[in-house]
Chains A and B, each alone.
Chain A
Amino acid sequence: MPCIRTKCFGEMEYSTDAVYRFPHGLPGFETECDFLFLEQPATHPLMFLQSIATPEVCFILLPVLAADPDYKLSLSEEDLALLHLPPGRQPGIGEDVLCAALVCATSEEPCGPTVNLLAPVVVNLEEQIGIQAIQTQTKYSHRHPLIPRESEQELVSCS
């Protein structure tokens, strides 16, 4: 079994069946095309998207429904085709696709940790293909705060 050095969990072996292919990488990381999803009970519901080629490249993901239970996908026809999904119909989150947002976990920012709901990672579970899909309806923020504004008195505007 191949072995990988991960950013957060040390070295581990993995099965090649568990590899998810991102044909275009992610914006800013276009050459990273093969990833593992790592989960641990202690960090639930967070997931870790670990690049196989580069140990340093790892993202924290949060299922979009954990950030916004009413989240709606609006994938473009091009993105549906990239995911090998049928045209003209939005896939069901948690049924046809996994949909998770990248977390910016930094605590120094005025808004605290945020998730990018504008451009979630969407994965065709059947075919193990993923993309980062920029939503066609842009009512979602790329810096959606995870800590509600009212609970943190000192927070300033996030924009």
Chain B
Amino acid sequence: MLVMRRRAGESFLIGEDVEIEVLEVCGTRVKLGIVAPDSVLIQRKEMQITRDQNINAAGSVRQHNISSLLEKVSFQPAGASVKSLTPPSILAKRRT
């Protein structure tokens, strides 16, 4: 990993087209300004992690996984305090 020290007001370039400027440093947070072509995707890393994790989560919704989840995991009682969002009529009208 390349490590570089910069102060507020200083910037650096990535390739020809991407410029990143340190706008402000405040305590543990840094405010950055980014200039890049529209074709360059800029996103927080957490967003990419969440996208990948969502795709895995959706793929894991299988009956045997659900059964095994309910069998193996002892959930914290705090979860029981959450009020129901599903109007009873919906599940009552289940067709199959």
Contacts and interface: CB of A to CB of B under 8 A. Distances in A.
A102 B57 contact: yes
B73 A113 contact: yes
A52 interface: no
Interface size class of B (residues with CB under 8 A): 35 or more
Which of B51, B70, B85, B96 neighbours the largest number of chain A CB atoms within 10 Å of its CB?
Answer: B85
Interface residues of A, number: 64
B49 A118 contact: yes
Nearest to A115: B57
Contact of B78 (A44, A65, A113): A65
A40 B70 CA distance: 12
B46 A118 contact: yes
Contacts of A142: 46, 49-50, 53
Contact of A118 (B50, B66, B78, B84): B50
Given A27-B51, A29-B54, A57-B58, A18 B72 contact: no
Given A104-B56, A105-B60, A10 B94 contact: yes
A1 B93 contact: yes
B44 interface: yes
Contacts of A134: 44, 46-47, 50
A94 B49 contact: no
B57 A63 contact: no
B87 interface: yes
B59 to A, nearest CB: 8
A146 B73 contact: yes
A87 to B, nearest CB: 18
A63 B79 contact: yes
Contacts of B86: 18, 36-39, 47
B87 to A, nearest CB: 5
B58 A59 contact: yes
A62 B66 contact: no
A12 B94 contact: yes
Nearest to A54: B58
A153 interface: no
A118 B55 CA distance: 15
Contacts of B81: 65, 94
A13 B61 contact: no
A46 interface: yes
Contacts of A47: 85-86
Closest CB pairs A-B (n = 3): A66-B79, A10-B96, A65-B78
